[in-house]
Structure 1
Amino acid sequence: MLSYSKVEGKSNILQSLTGLNQSEFKTLLKSFEVAWQEYVQKPRARRYGEGRHAELSSSADKLLFILVYFRLYPTQVVQGFLFGLGQTQACEWIHKLSRILNQALGYEKQLPEREPARLAAVLRACPSLEFLIDGTERPINRPKDPDDQQDYYSGKKKRHSVTNNVISERGGKVMFLSDTYCGRVHDKAICDGEEYEFPEGSRLLQDTGFQGFAPPGVTIRQPKKKPCNQPLSEADKQRNREISKERVEIEHQISGIKRCNILVHKFRNRTDNFIDDVMETACGLHNFRLTQRQLKAA
């Protein structure tokens, strides 16, 4: 049975299982324990802990359990087998501890902003005022409803998916995460629907999927599209290459977010809003890792 005592001190194994090294795990564990204590102290008909003995007895085991789930995304049967639980118990712990992990990342101030109305105020606190925006899709199982099949089918990826927009600070963390939309919704349509506003004097790097998105007071850096039946000039090609070298940073950010395989494999969970919650938590984990490693390098 997998437990923290078996991987403590084995940094390579712990990082492969959770995406965090030993130091990062212990730092996050402090906030996780606070969030857990708040959960168990909530008023309920029977005081927490008076029932049967919990298989995940320590906070470290609980944190390991949910990080392994996010990092590897095994089936609930396999997740339960790894930790000595049945499938039903594993399902209960997954949804319970997902909320605790999200709350812990909130205490660490690593969660992205979700409200478009507060976007400009959040970005104004970034000294460089240089930002990157991109959309990212995640695969889902084919819906049974015919209308949902059309809504969730992405012509770009040729599969059923959901999509989010991500805004990050240049050289920094993911600052904003949009709501989760059906796969057929275009990146720019999300921008228009959520009505993003940026601080005056901002510089925004975006790809051609955001063609026509130009918030007032913002300098846009975007590759030039190839004209119909005409080649791009050498000057335009060189400029596009320079923009791509700058814009690749947002691809690295999304790659860091998708270190959690729960975002990479077809999403199997059916609980309402869980598909959106896991994306927010994965962004928080990426921001947490980035912050810890920047502090270590400083």
Structure 2
Amino acid sequence: MTNPLARIESHPHEAKRLIGINYDQFLALVSLAEKRHREKQAEIEKNKVRIIAKGGGRKPEMSPKEGICLCLVYIRQKPIFEILGLLFDISKTKANDAFNYWVDILREILPASQIEEASVDSQKYQELQQMLSEYELIVDSAEQATARPVDYQEQKRYYSGKKKMHTLKNQFIVLPGGEDIVDICVGMLGKTSDINLFRVFRDTRNKFADSQRFIGDKAYIGDDAITTPHKKRKNTEISEFQKQENKQLSSRRIAVEHMICRVKIFRVASEKFRLARHRYSQVILAVCGLIRLRLNRLVSLTINT
């Protein structure tokens, strides 16, 4: 069975299909992840009480490059861990451990949104808020199926009447044209309505300027900050002018649908989520970081495609 890393090294043009990013982006990601890996290992070494001499003990079965490739294969293809272990010639337990270790590193080095990336510097954050206020940002949400909770009360909290299943809901806010992810809210209860998700998320975090405007679909009707389509009332028809306005609004709003589609290219973000629920936010935010890497939107990691 061919090792996925050997495959993309011998056929670089297949990297995007197998791991979700092109080969040059993969190499740049490996370089950044290895640096963070060395930092984490140095921190562990500093606090370790040694029993054997440094350099002794069992050698790691996987190189950092293989570990990162394993993590990306799972995120993109979502095989079971038995198959993932066979692909990389390790046990399913070690495959699971490797995935969890490297997805945490990806999460640390790949900001999931513009706001997260700018939040480390107050001046850059204020500049970003000012820049964003010049646009009408596009907002929409997407649901992902999850395992049904055992407890009945928990089942009711996660049950989505729209999807007729138990789901987790994510809200995306993107730039016009879908050029980048501005902000994302991950892992909310499936029964939460879109407009309530927007209000709670926006008002509690205060991430946008008061003058910020948004574009949304009919699920957001009722919020003054969001431009929404005209809705046909019972036993009435909307005018031709209103239909034309709806069409123009839809042509602008479609960008957020395209962004959600890019996220769902990674099967871990589109198929039923079967990992532990407390890992959901970490994994989906790592996927968003990979999307921004694909779009060359990361300030710390810019690749020419």
Cα distance change, pair 7–295 in 1 and its aligned pair in 2 (3 A) = closer
Deviation at 1:78, TM superposition (A): 1.3
Matches within 5 A, 1:145-164: 145-164=151-170
Which residue identity does 2:38 align to in structure 1? Q
Alpha-carbon displacement from aligned partner over 1:126-166 (angstroms, at most 9, x marks no partner)? 47433111111111112211111111111111111000211
**2:104 is the counterpart of 1:94:** no
Alpha-carbon displacement from aligned partner over 1:259-297 (angstroms, at most 9, x marks no partner)? 21101111111162x111111111111111111699647
User: The residue matched to 2:166 in structure 1 has which SS?
Assistant: strand
CA distance in 2, matches of 1:48, 1:276: 36
CA distance in 1, matches of 2:33, 2:55: 18
Tell me what 1:291 maps to. Answer: 296
Greater alpha carbon shift after TM alignment, 34-43 vs 284-293: 284-293
CA distance in 1, matches of 2:106, 2:57: 23
Deviation at 1:222, TM superposition (A): 1.4
**Please, what TM-score do these two structures have when normalized by structure 1?**
0.87
Tell me what 1:261 maps to. Answer: 267
Tell me what 1:173 maps to. Answer: 180
CA distance in 2, matches of 1:111, 1:203: 18
Tell me what 1:224 maps to. Answer: 230
The size of the alignment, in residue pairs, is 287
Alpha-carbon displacement from aligned partner over 1:47-83 (angstroms, at most 9, x marks no partner)? 99743222212x2212111111110111111111111
Matches within 5 A, 1:1-298: 1-43=2-44, 44-46=48-50, 50-57=56-63, 59-106=64-111, 111=113, 113=115, 121=126, 122-126=128-132, 128-171=134-177, 172-196=179-203, 197=206, 198-215=208-225, 220-270=226-276, 272=278, 274-291=279-296, 296=304
Conserved? CA contact 1:112–1:283, under 8 Å: no
Cα distance change, pair 136–265 in 1 and its aligned pair in 2 (3 A) = same
CA distance in 2, matches of 1:66, 1:125: 35
User: The residue matched to 2:109 in structure 1 has which SS?
Assistant: helix
Which residue identity does 2:222 align to in structure 1? G
CA distance in 2, matches of 1:242, 1:138: 29
Cα distance change, pair 257–5 in 1 and its aligned pair in 2 (3 A) = same
CA distance in 1, matches of 2:54, 2:229: 56
Percent pairwise identity: 27
User: The residue matched to 1:180 in structure 2 has which SS?
Assistant: strand
CA distance in 1, matches of 2:24, 2:104: 22
CA distance in 2, matches of 1:281, 1:54: 24
Cα distance change, pair 227–163 in 1 and its aligned pair in 2 (3 A) = same
CA distance in 2, matches of 1:105, 1:114: 10
Deviation at 1:178, TM superposition (A): 1.4
User: The residue matched to 1:41 in structure 2 has which SS?
Assistant: helix
Q: What RMSD over aligned residues (CA atoms) do the two structures have, in Å?
A: 2.7
**Please, what TM-score do these two structures have when normalized by structure 2?**
0.85
